Structures are given as C-alpha cells and as structure tokens.
Structure 1
Amino acid sequence: MSALIAAPVLLPAFAATLSLLFRRRRRWIGAGVSIGATALLLAIDLVLLGQAATGEIGIYALGDWPAPFGIVLVLDRLAAMMLVLTAALALAVSIHATLTSLDRRGWHFHPLFQFQLLGLNGAFLTGDLFNLFVFFEVLLIASYGLLLHGQGARRLTAGVQYVIVNLVGSTLFLIALGLLYGVTGTLNMADMAVRASALPIGDQGLFRAGGLLLTAVFALKAALLPLHLWLPRAYSGTAPAVAALFAIMTKVGAYAIIRTGPLIFAGAAGRYMIPAALGTMILGFAGFLAARHLRVMTAFGLIGSTAILLVAVAVFQERAMAAALYYLPHTTLAAAFLFLVTDLLIRWRGTEGDAIVVTPGYRGQQVLAALFFAGGIALAGLPPLSGFIGKLLILQATLSSSWWPAIWAAILITSLVAVIGFARAGSTLFWKSSGDAPPSPGTSGARALPLKEAAPAGFLLALMVLLTVAAGPVTAYMEAASHQIFDVADYARAVLPPASGVGS
C-alpha cells in the first residue's frame, strides 16, 4: 500500500510529459494518453479508497526519510475520498474537452490538465504544510494556462485578475508558514499538532495569529466572503469545460480548512467562519438570481453551495463535519455538471452563446432542457438527488450550534432563491424559445445532433444518482472519515515514528 500512495502524484507527472511529446504531431495520441492516464488514476484511487475504508492511515515517506524530517504522503479516508472525486471529475472533463475539440484550441491543454491533477492530488495527500504550499503553486500555475486556453480578451482580463489574487494569497501563505515555523519549529502537520498542545503561554498568541492567517488563505481559495470576488469573473471568463474542472478548486481550500482546523488549530477559526459563510451564501445566491449568463449563474451557484458546505465545516464537530463531507462531492459534481451543460448549450444553440435570452429553436433543445432541469434539482438541493439529503444532514447537524437559527434561515431562503433562479432561466431558455420563435438555421438542417458530447455530463449526473442511491453506505463512510479527522492522536501516531513518543 505504501508505494501505491505515490501513484496519484507520479502518474499525472508522467502523463503530462508523454502528452507534451505529441502536442504538434499525432495530437490524438497525446489526448489518448491523457484520458487513459486519468482513467487509470481513477482505478488506482478506487483501490486506495478501499484500503483507506479499513481505517488504516497509510504513509509513504519520500526517500525513506521519516517524519517530521522527511516529506510524507498521508492517505486516510478524507484524502482517499478527495482523490476519487478529483479523478472522476477529471475523466469527465478530459473526455468532454476532446469530444468538443477544446483541447485543439491550443497546444498544451492535456499537459496542463495533467499537471493540474498532480497539484490537486499532491495537496490532498501531503502531510506537510510547506509541501501543501508547493502543490498549491503547481495546481495554480497549471490553472493559469488552462484559464487562458483558447485565448480572447475576456479570458486575458479574467486571467490577470486571477493571477494577482492568487499571488497575494501565496505571499500570505508563506508569511503564515513563517510564523508557524518560528513558533513550533516544524511544518509537518502531525508534529505541529503535537507541539502546539505544549506551547508556552507567551507563544500561543503568535501561533493563533499564524493559524488565522493560514485559514484566511484557505478561505481565499474557497471563495469565502469577503475574498470571493475573483471567482465569478474567472470562472465565467474561461471555457466552461475548464470551469467544470475548477469546481474542485474551491474544495481544495475547504479541504485544507478541514485538514488543519481540527488537527492543528482546534477549530479556533470557527467563530469567524460561520458569519462569513452565511454572508457568502446570501451573496452567492443573490448573484445567482441576478445573473444574465449561464456561466456567471453557475459560478455564483458554486460560491453559494460551497458556502453551505463551509457553514457545516465551521461548526467543527464530528456530526456536522460528516454532513459537510457528504455534501462536498455533491456540490462539486453539480456545479461541474452545469458548466458542461452550459458548454453544450453554447455549441448546440448556435446563437447568443450562454445568454439567458429567448432564441430560435434548435436541434437538441429537449435534451438540454432535461439536463438543465436535472442540474437545477442538483444545485438547488431538491429531492430526489443527493443535494437534498446533504442539506438535510447539515440542517440536523448544525442544531447544536448557537448559530442554528441563522444557518437554517439562510439555507432555506437561498434554496428558494435557487429554485426561482432556475425557473426563470429554464423558462427563458427552453420553454419560451421553443414556442415563440422558428427553428434556428444555424443548428438545424442536415447536421446530425452530436449526442455523444453529452456523455460526460451524463456521467456526472450518474455519479450524483449513485451518491443518492448509496446514501447509507456513503454517509457511514463520511461519519468514519469525520471521526478520523478529529482523532488527532491516532493521526500523529500513524505519521510520526514510535521514537517520538506520541501516544506512549
């Protein structure tokens, strides 16, 4: 098991190199290498998920240097779940990009795509805060290229703002690491958790300051108020398929908060995160309702649904964390699904792009209407899909918080707003257009409807259905993962060598 833990980091690195070799000639081989490697990555991650489900925390020490002196990769239930989610999403996006020829609008789509996976998987596996920073930078550098893929003035403007915001975040990340290292003398997360509990009173204030600054950086990645303004323009400015992959990016910030909050900082940021998440939820769905383009609408929906997740995380209790973990894959898949449906709308409609306006009818309109309806149910959290179950779990779990009246009001009101927003957009795009205008010449006629382009979106929808049907086993897994997250002593015993004396 130890060597296999490194595969999610090594495989994308090799696949990126191989696909780069075919960037000019035989590009279909490069695309095949990328898709094949992603499918293999999903299979490996499923094996790791099965091993993590036993409760054993797997460790891989690079260069055989033990923690806290060496670099270690740590696989537990949380990390395994994030690996599988990332690989499943990446497989759908890579196939969609190939079927729609997005990967042929520039030379380096698949190499950048694989380096993005390398950074994501490394961030989920690393047991060291500095290497978390390194993997953050890897995935961010790859995301800069993917964001600009296909060129255009709008993408360039959004890309510049995206780069500036993340450079500021990276700078603050390094400052926070400097503070924490200066106080504890380590950046290994397990070692820092042990040393933090024994800090003298004079160092505790500086340690808390470093922890809050680090949490603010993660909140920036998760687009939490007031650090959320970069996301709508960046995600609506890039290609919808790229934005679908980026749906996991906000979850990297959420993952980092989940990983470090209970382990190192004992949930100290919770009292600040809850009001920020509530405000983000309200602003996210307000922007969702006001949006006039589907990409902007989905981007704001992603902000709002991520805020629902972070409200549960910020309670920092086992039951609420389990509910958040169940909702995490749902909101990621739902937002990615809607971005892919938006891309199909742009390609099949033939006029007006993704603008929420009445247009002439077109071939495939009924298919898109059905997919959009399913996406609306998913993102709004309506039955029968898993979003409804996730919201119910969060509502029940947050009853123990003093913030529960505000949490309940915000979630229920924003759910209603989401339903109204989807009803407005759906009636304009699919109901009015089908009866009020003649067929569009741009997409009708002899051209066959490319239904195969809808297969990746269908795959994501199937995953949400599976998450619903298997709600019992999935919830049990998430409860076990939540318990493991809060068991600091067990994590430290697994990562640190016996000579450290942890747990003895």
Structure 2
Amino acid sequence: MIAPIDHLMILPVILPAMAAAFLVLALRHHLRRQRMVSIVVTALLVGVAAWLFAQASDGTVRAYRLGDWPAPYGIVLVLDRLSATLLLLTAVLALCVVVYAAGGVDGRGRHFHPLFQFQLMGINGAFLTGDVFNLFVFFEVMLIASYGLMLHGGGPARLKAGFQYVAINLLASVVFLVGVGLIYAVTGTLNMADLAVKVPQVAAADAGLLKAGALLLFLVFATKAALVPLHWWLPATYAGTSAPVAALFMIMTKVGAYAIVRVYGLVFGDGAGPLAMAAAPLVIPAALLTLVLGTAGLLGSRTLRDLAAFAVIASMGTLLVAVGLFDADGLSAGLYYLVHSTLAGAALFLLAGLVQEGRGPAGDRLVPAPAMVGETLLGGLFFLCAIALVGLPPLSGFLGKVMILEAARASGLWPWIWALILAASLLMTFGFARAGSALFWASGPVSGTGPRLPIVPLGAVLALLALTLAWTLAAGPVADALQLTAHQALDRSVYIGAVLGPDARLAAGD
C-alpha cells in the first residue's frame, strides 16, 4: 500500500499541470492574475521539491505506483537522491525565470504562463519516471510546451530557429519510438527496474537487436544533451528565443544528460551482461568534440546571446566528460558542475536580455555603442558570469572543473581530457574578455535615452548569481552529499529493490 505521505511525490507533475489548465480556462485574458498564479505555483513547487529532497536525503529510494498497480505493469514514479536534486534545481531555476518574465517579457505573446507550467510538468515527469515509455511521454510534453515558448513573441528569426528546433525534435521522437519498440520486442517490458533484471538474461541471438535499441535511445538522449554531432539545433534555438525561455532551457539539456545516466547506468551499466556499458565508449570522445566546438563557436560569436548559447555547448561537453566516466567520482563531480552550469548559464541569458533592452538599436551585438543606463552594474554582473562559466577561481565553475579533472585520472583518455578542458578554459577567457570589452569598455558616452534598469528582472539575475556563490561556499558538504548521490544512482540493486521488491533484487544477483 502507498503511504499517504508518499502521494506528495506526484505533486511536481500534477501541480503545474493543474495550474496550466486553470490559467488557460479561467485567466486567459488576465495577464496580471496569470503572473500571480504562476509565481505562487512555482514557489509551491520549490517547497515541494525541497521537502522531497529532504526525504530522499536519508538514502531511501521511494517508488510511487499510480493506482497501486504493481510494477512493472503499472505506471511508477521513483524518487532517489539524483531525481530529488534535479527536481529542486528545476524548481529554483523556474522561480527565478518566471519572476524575470513577469517584468514584461510574458506580455509579448499569448499563453506564456500556461506553456511555462506545462514545461515544468514535462521536465519534472522526466526526472521522476521509472519507465522508458513514460520518459518518452514526458519528453513530448516538455517539447510541445517548449515549441510554444520558443516561438513566444514571434518574429522571422525566431520562426526560422523554431522550425529547425521542431524538425530535429520530431525526428528524435521518431527515433525514440523505434528504439523503445526494439527494446520492448526483445524484453517484453519498458520498466527500467524490470529492464535492469531482464537485459542480462537476454539470449545471445537477441542481443544485437537489443543493442540497436539501446544505441537509438542514446542518439535521442545525445540530441537532447546537444552532444556533437547532434548539437546543431541549440545555438540558433537558444539565441533566437527570449531571455527567460533560453534560461529555462538550461535545464532541458540536463534532462538529456540525466537520461544517459539513468538508462545507461541502471539498465545498460555494469551487470548488464554482454550489453554492459553499451554506449560508454561513445560518450567521452563525443563530449570532448562538443567542448572544442562550443569553445570555437564562443570565440566567433557576434552577439551576447550567441556567446551564451555556445557557452552552453561547451559546458555540456565538460559535463558529459564527467558523465562518460560512469563511476561515482565522475558522476559526483559532474553533478556539482551540472548545478553550477545551469545557474550561471541561466544568469547569463537573463543578463543578455537586459543588455539587449538597454542598448537600443545595437541590441546585444558585440560592437561599440552608446553606454547604457546601469552599465557599471551590468558590466560587473557580466564579469561574474564570465568567471563562473569559464571556470576561473574562486567561483564554483573552477571547483567543478577541478573535481572533473581529478575524477578523469582514472580514464585512459585523461591526458586528452586535461589538455582540452584547460585549453578550452583559456580560450573561453579570451572570448568573454572580447565580449565584455565590446559591450562595456568600448562604449561611448551615455545616450541618456535608454530605459532604466527593470528592478524585478535584475533581481532574478542577482538571485541566480547569489545561488552560484552559495554553491561555491557550500562546496565541501555539497561534494560529500553528491558522492552519496552518485553511489546510489549507480547502485542497480537498490533501485530494483525499491521498484520491484526485495525478491527481484535477489533474483538480479545484486
């Protein structure tokens, strides 16, 4: 039986879903009320996520079976340290973003807040689901909402970028379904815990078909994570949409990274028989290429939004190097860097929105222009974002990269990893310095006609940078906690036992 308190596990999914429906049906013509409801609901999500994080911190993996149907026959949600960490990160990021959007961006098109809440529903569901097919379902919910958010406000450039984004993700969805079909045809199940039990038992004659399905899923997750050569959709999409949407999208690439960890750590990880580590040889080489390409794109960027988008690609390369180690040290370092890059990247996108509004016709192009109102403050915030994203001391980007470099010592590719991460950091420093000089150093006298800095959006940027600083100051205890998170995420037996029961855990040989 499901304990009454365990019903709170489903709130991160149903709360934004119900809020979105209410916003559409009851408040579709009342933007101010939509803002109030959306901010309150997102703040409630922060509270729920914090409570779930506290529950998961005791080390227990909890399974919620909808309708009390036993796994693997029913829909199951699973809460562990990893999913709880990402739920809390999503909620905190979403609260900062929705506050920024309420400063006026949400009024440039229709239905921003319903789409925003549906987006949160899809992201939270992807982090909680214990079933590969329902992972596909939540991916689609997340992507459909992101289509609307990406195009919110309209414009030819945004429409062009939106077409590319929709096309690549529709293709990825088709590949996802084919991969899911192959896996189900061989194993007869899509429950992740049940797959972890059955994959090692697959007959040798069916192993090739199952591996094909596993690699097709990897292609889909790599697309979501913007892994080279499946990254090309990201720069135009992130640079082409509005600042708060791009900031929220910072968590979407992390959904792809999470799916790689969950599926290839649990189902196709150590203990999966002949299919163990099916995708592992591909991750680190592709991640290093992603880092190189992201750095090159950053150096050639002509706008601040382009620079931020390529910084995302570079950060995903660094993150996926850590994920590709598929051990506890690499994953814990990657998780620390994941939180850092999400907060710092979102702050840069929101800051780019303020710069674009403040510079008038020059927008966020990296060219000299009349000084904007509040240039000194914005320049200081850009400097902090640059330090964080490049990985210079003393902020958390530096600590995260040091952790990843230390964890990479166990890999045979460690010389390449060290050389490319350090070289990329140096080159990114030059790229950010060039951008900062063009935006804040080479500007002319104040035009006197620019808009005043909006207080509420500026507060959202300050909040994200304050969280980045807090993440730096708490690095010691956070690293210890993430080490436990990584060990639990890679422990197949604990997950299988929580979902299928202790008998299945014993049957799996763990």
Determine helix, strand or coil for the equivalent of 1:382: coil
Comparing 207-216 and 365-374, the one that deviates more: 207-216
Q: Tell me how far 1:336 sits from its aligned partner.
A: 0.7
Residue 189 of structure 2: aligned partner: 186
Q: Work out whether residues 221 and 260 of structure 2, in 8 Å CA contact, stay in contact via their aligned partners in 1.
A: yes
The equivalent of 1:463 in structure 2 is 467
Q: Secondary structure at the match of 1:124?
A: helix
Map of 1:319 onto structure 2: 329
Question: In the alignment, does 2:137 pair up with 1:130?
Answer: no
Alignment correspondent of 1:153: 156
On the 8 A contact 2:496/2:504 being kept in 1, the answer is no
Give the counterpart of 1:49 among 34, 45, 53.
53
Choose which of 417, 421, 441 in structure 2 pairs with 1:411: 421
2-side partners of 1:351 and 1:265: how far apart?
52
Give the AA of the match of 1:65: W
**1:352 and 2:362 correspond:** yes
Q: Corresponding residue for 1:239?
A: 242
Q: In structure 2, which of residues 478, 486, 489 is the aligned counterpart of residue 485 of structure 1?
A: 489
Secondary structure of the 1:277 match is helix
Aligned match for 2:442, one of 416, 420, 432: 432
Residue 450 of structure 1 and its aligned partner are, at CA, apart by 2.8
Q: Secondary structure at the match of 1:361?
A: coil
Q: 1:191: Cα distance to partner? A: 0.3
Q: C-alpha separation between the residues in 2 aligned to 1:219 and 1:180? A: 18
Q: Residue 26 of structure 1: CA displacement?
A: 2.9
Residue in 1 aligned with 2:166? 163
- Hey, what does 2:262 align to over in structure 1? 259
Query: Are the counterparts in 1 of residues 100 and 456 from structure 2 also a CA contact under 8 Å?
Result: no
The aligned length equals 497
C-alpha contact (below 8 Å) 2:496/2:505 kept by paired residues? no
Residues 325-344 of structure 1: matches in 2 within 5 Å?
325-344=335-354
State how far apart, in whole Å, the 2-side matches of 1:162 and 1:450 are: 30
Structure 2 residue corresponding to 1:372, chosen from 354, 358, 382 = 382
Give the SS at the match of 1:439.
Answer: coil
Q: Identify which of 300, 307, 314 aligns with 1:297.
A: 307
Measure how far apart 1:205 and its partner are: 1.9
TM-score by length of 2: 0.96
Partner of 2:272: none
- Partner amino acid, structure 1, of 2:23: S
| Number of the residue aligned with 2:25 | 21
The answer to whether 1:221 aligns with 2:214 is: no
Alignment partners' CA distance in 2, 1:82 and 1:501: 26
Conservation of the 8 A alpha-carbon contact between 1:23 and 1:107: no
Matched residues in 1 for 2:340 and 2:425: separation?
15
Correspondent of 1:209 among 212, 226, 231: 212
CA contact (8 A) 1:208 1:265 kept: no
1:486 deviates by 1.3
* Structure 1 residues without counterparts, runs of 5 or longer: none
Q: Distance in 1 between matches of 2:43 and 2:402?
A: 33
Residue 442 in structure 1 maps to residue 449 in structure 2: yes
Is 1:452 the counterpart of 2:459? The answer is no
Alpha-carbon displacement from aligned partner over 1:455-474 (angstroms, at most 9, x marks no partner): 00111111111111111111
- Per the TM alignment, residue 374 of structure 1 is displaced from its structure 2 partner at its CA by 0.5
Aligned equivalents of 1:272 and 1:253: distance in 2? Answer: 15
Q: What's the secondary structure of 1:2's corresponding residue?
A: helix
| Contact 1:21–1:30 under 8 Å retained in 2 | no
Whole-angstrom distance in 1 between the partners of 2:498 and 2:238:
39
What amino acid is the match of 2:177? L
Q: Is the 8 A contact 1:496 1:502 kept in 2?
A: no
Q: Distance in 1 between matches of 2:445 and 2:96?
A: 34
Q: What TM-score does the superposition give when structure 1 sets the normalisation length?
A: 0.97
Residue 496 of structure 1 corresponds to 500
Contact 2:262 / 2:489 at 8 angstroms: preserved in 1?
A: yes
Is the Cα–Cα contact under 8 Å of residues 215 and 257 in structure 1 kept in the other structure?
yes
- 1:307 and 2:311 matched: no
| 5+ long unaligned stretches in structure 2 | 270-276
Residue 25 of structure 1: CA displacement? 3.4
1:361, 1:152 → 2: CA distance? 27
With over 3 angstroms needed to count, the CA separation of the structure-2 counterparts of 1:462 and 1:2, relative to structure 1, is same
- What amino acid is the match of 2:362? E
Shift of residue 351, structure 1, vs aligned partner: 2.9
Retained in 1: the 8 A contact 2:494–2:505? no
* Aligned alpha-carbon RMSD (Å): 1.2
Equivalent-residue separation in structure 2 for 1:228 and 1:422 (angstroms): 21
CA distance in 2, matches of 1:68, 1:288: 46
Between the two proteins, what is the percent identity of the paired residues?
54
Higher deviation after alignment, 466-475 or 73-82: 466-475
Aligned-pair CA distance for 1:274: 1.1
